[in-house]
Amino acid sequence: MYQEWGTVNVTASGEVTSAKTATRVKSIHIISTSGGASVVSLKNNGTSGTVFITETGTVSTGKTFYYGEDGILFPSGCWAAFDGNTSSVAVVCRTQL
């Protein structure tokens, strides 16, 4: 059983949900800086985990990526890795109870 969908705002590379916590990611919204298009990777199981999603934003604007009604399963938590052109990412996700 999972919690209700919620949004986690991440402003630097780091944990979206804790390791060992099964998480489904439904969508992400990337905000890029004026310096260039951002690249964001979401990994399973922390900073050295396996990359499940990599998306590229657009310069100086937001861009949303949607992964379907059920989202993508990260069985061991979700970690966001940013490049220098990323201001923030809003991750719509839910965790297993």
CA distance linking residue 40 with residue 57, whole number of Å? 8
> Which fold does the domain 6-95 belong to in CATH?
Jelly Rolls (2.60.120)
pLDDT tens-digit readout, 46-85: 999 999 999 999 988 899 999 999 999 999 999 999 999 9
Domain ranges of the chain: 6-95
pLDDT tens-digit readout, 2-48: 899 999 999 999 999 998 899 999 999 999 988 889 999 999 999 99
Instruction: Assign 1 a pLDDT band (cuts: 50, 70, 90).
Output: confident
What is the DSSP code string of 23-79? EEEEEEEEEE-TTS--EEEEEESSTTSEEEEEEE--TTSEEEEE--SS-EEETT-EE
CA distance linking residue 3 with residue 53, whole number of Å? 22
The DSSP call for residue 86 is: E
